[in-house]
Amino acid sequence: MLYAILCYHDENLVWSWSKEEDAALMGKIGGVRAKLTAEGKLGASLRLMPTTAATTLRKTQEPPLVIDGPFAETKEQLLGFYILDVENLEAALEAARQIAAVNPGGAFEIRPIAVFNPDERQATAIKT
Amino acid sequence: MNDLAWINAALAAARPQAVGALLRYFRDLDRAEEAFQEAALRALKNWPKNGPPRDPAAWLILVGRNAALDGVRKDARNVALPVDDAISDLDDVETPLAERLDGSHYRDDVLRLLFICCHPDLPATQQIALALRIVSGLSVKQIARAFLVSEAAMEQRITRAKSRVARADVPFEAPGPAERSERLAAVMAMVYLIFNESYSAGDAEARAALCDEAIRLSRLLQRLFQTEPEVMGLTALMLLQHARGAARFDDEGDIILLEDQDRKLWNRELIGEGLALMDKAMRHNRPGPYQVQAAVAATHARAEAAGDTDWAGIDALYAALERMQPSPVVTLNRAVATGKVNGPEAALAMIAPLEERLSGYFHFFGARGAFHLQLGRKAEARQDFNRAIALANSPAEAAHIRRHLDQHLRDAD
C-alpha cells in the first residue's frame, strides 16, 4: 500500500533554524531515509520552499483567481512529504515515527495514496 | 536538536510578534523588551517541562504582559508576591488564548516595531543596531562583532538610539493605508541596509549572520504583505546576492569579482527561491527598484559562465532603475554594463558627469581605473586605483585594488 507522509510545521520557526541546526537535522533525516530506502519502503521524498514562494490558483471564479501564497491563517504549513510503500498503517506509522524521532516538533500526517501516477516523461519522450 | 536549541529558535521566531504586541500594550520599548525577556526566561523553565505551547508567540505575549503588570503591582505595594506560582502554570490559558489575543493587530504590531527602528531621526548605523537588538534579538556582543566596535560602544549606540526613539513619539494607533505603505518602504530600506552592512562586517560568520537576519526579516515582511511585489523583489534580491556568498572571497579573505567567481559555489537552492519570487513579482506588473535590482541579480544567476551574461539586458535594467530612482551610484552601475556592451569609452563618457558627486566613493575610482586600464591609459588607471585604495571601506577592498595594481601596472611608471 502506498502512503504519503505529509510533514507540517510552523515554517516561521523552521526557517529560523540556524544553518548548522538545519544541516544537523538534514543529516539525521538522511540517515532515516537511507535506512527506509534500504528496507525497500521509501519512494520519492521532497522538501518544499517556504510558502512565501508559493502561488495559489483558486477556482472560485472563471477564469480562476491567482493568489500570492496560501492565504490560510494556519499555524503550520506543509513543508514536504515522503512516499512510502509498506504493508499497512502500522508499518507506515513505524516509518513516520522514525522520521518524527529526528525532527524537533511538527505534525506528520499519514495519508493513504489513492492514485499514483509515476513520472512518465522519459517514456513519452521516446514515443514522440 | 536539543530542547535548548529548539526553544531558542522558537523564541527568535516569535520575538518580532511578541515584542511588537507588548510594545502596543506598554507603549514603551524598554518595558516591552523587559516583559519579553521575563517571558523568555519563564519559557526556558516551563517549556521543557510542559512541552512547547501550540502558539509560542501568544504564550510569550500573555506571560510577558502578566509578568510586567505584576511587576508594576509589586512595585506599588512593595511586597514580594509568589511570581512564578501565580502565572507560570499556563495549562488552563492555552484555550482561551486565541480569543484574547487579537490576531488582526499582528501585521501592524510587527510593522510598528520595525518602523520604530528606522525612524528618520536615527542615523543608519543606529537604525541597524536597534533593529538587530530589538527585532532580531541578537546580543549586543554579536552586533558589536559584526560592526567591528567594542561591546561598550555598541551598548552606548543602542541606548542612544532607544532614547531618541522614546522622544520621537511614534503613533500607536493602527496606521491608514498611505501611512502603512510609507512605513513599509522605510522598513524595506532598513532591511536592505542590514543586508548591505554584511559586506563590511567583521568576519565570515558575522557576515552570514547579518545576511540571514535580513533575509529572515524580509520573509517576515512578505508574510505580512503577501501581495506586495516590491517585498518579493527585496527578498529575491537578497537571496540571489546571498547565493554568491561562498564564491565572493578566496581562502585569504580577498574579494573575488563576480566575473571571476567559481559559479559552482553559488547556492542553487537560494537562487531557485529567488527566481521563484521574481516570477511571482513580475505577474503583478508593478515594477519597482527592488524588483529591478533583483532582475539584475537574476540575470547574473542565469548566466552559466561570466561570458554568457546578458549585459545588454542588465544595461536596460539599470536604465529603468535610473528612471525610477535616479542616483549617481545607479548610473555608475549602468556604466559597467554599458562598458561591456559598447566599450570602455562609452562607459567613461557616461560616468564623466558623476565625478564631483562620487568624489568620495570607492567604487567610482575602482570602476574608472578599470575602464582606463582597458584603454591602456596606465597613468590614469594608477591614479584612480590609488584614490580607490584611500577610499576603501574595508581592508579587503583596499587589498583587492592593490592586487589589481600589482597585476596590471607593476611597470607603468
**Is A50 within 8 Å of B273 when comparing Cβ atoms?**
yes
- Report yes or no: B98 at the A interface, CB cutoff 8 Å: no
Kindly provide the residue ranges of all beta strands, DSSP E only, lying in B101-158, ordered along the sequence: none
Q: Locate B333 and state its grid cell.
A: 552601475
Tell me the average pLDDT of chain A: 90
Which residues of B are less than 8 Å from A66 in CB distance?
283
Phi-psi region of B137 (alpha: psi -120 to 50; beta: other; left: phi over 0): left
- Report yes or no: B235 at the A interface, CB cutoff 8 Å: yes
Sequence-distant (6+) residues with CB within 8 A of A121 are none
Task: Tell me what pLDDT residue B75 has.
Answer: 62
Render B155-222 in DSSP notation, one character per residue: HHHHHHHHHHHHHH----SPPPHHHHHHHHHHHHHHHHHHHHHGGGSSSHHHHHHHHHHHHHHHHHHH
d(CA A51, CA B190): 24
Stated as kind and residue range, the H or E segment containing A33 is helix A19-38
Min Cα distance A127 → chain B (Å) is 31
Within 13 Å, how many C-alpha atoms sit on residue B99's CB side?
A: 3
> Could you tell me the pLDDT band of residue A1, with boundaries at 50, 70 and 90?
very high
d(CA B57, CA B60): 5
Instruction: Choose among B209, B189, B207, B187: nearest CA to B199.
Output: B207
Task: Tell me what pLDDT residue B81 has.
Answer: 45
d(CA B121, CA A73): 36
> Could you tell me the pLDDT band of residue B94, with boundaries at 50, 70 and 90?
very low
Q: What is the mean pLDDT of residues B227-255?
A: 92
pLDDT digits (tens, 9 = 90+) for A85-125: 999 999 999 999 999 999 888 899 999 999 999 888 877 66
Q: Which domains does chain A have, with CATH numbers?
A: 2-115 (3.30.70.1060)
pLDDT over 60 at B1, yes or no: no
Task: Tell me what pLDDT residue B87 has.
Answer: 43
Where is average pLDDT lowest: A2-11, B43-52, B101-110, B347-356? B101-110
CA B173 to chain CA mean position, Å: 26
**Is B6 within 8 Å of A105 when comparing Cβ atoms?**
yes
d(CA B299, CA B266): 14
Task: Tell me what pLDDT residue B52 has.
Answer: 78
- Report yes or no: B156 at the A interface, CB cutoff 8 Å: no
**Helix pair angle (B362-374, B378-391), 10° resolution:** 160
- Report yes or no: A116 at the B interface, CB cutoff 8 Å: no
**Is B280 within 8 Å of A21 when comparing Cβ atoms?**
no
Which residues of A are less than 8 Å from B103 in CB distance?
73
Kindly provide the ipTM of the predicted complex, given to two decimals.
0.85
Which single residue is written with the C-alpha cell 552592512? B197
Sequence-distant (6+) residues with CB within 8 A of B389 are B398, B401, B402
Stated as kind and residue range, the H or E segment containing B124 is helix B124-134
Min Cα distance A8 → chain B (Å) is 13
Render B47-60 in DSSP notation, one character per residue: HHHH---SSHHHHH
Which chain A residue has its CA at the smallest distance from B13's CA?
A13
Most confident of A11-20, A102-111, B48-57: A102-111
pTM to 2 decimal places: 0.86
d(CA B330, CA B338): 12
Of the candidates B1, B208, B219, the beta carbon closest to that of A50 is on: B219
Q: Locate B221 and state its grid cell.
A: 515582511
Instruction: Choose among B191, B175, B174: nearest CA to B230.
Output: B191
R_g of chain A, CA atoms, integer Å: 17
pLDDT over 80 at B411, yes or no: no
d(CA B71, CA B30): 14
pLDDT over 90 at B36, yes or no: yes
Min Cα distance A107 → chain B (Å) is 12
pLDDT over 60 at B50, yes or no: yes
Q: Which of A12, A28, A55, A103 has the highest number of chain B CBs within 10 A, making it the mutation to test binding with B?
A: A12
d(CA B280, CA B301): 17
- Report yes or no: B172 at the A interface, CB cutoff 8 Å: no
pLDDT digits (tens, 9 = 90+) for B339-392: 999 999 999 999 999 999 999 999 999 999 999 999 999 999 999 999 999 998
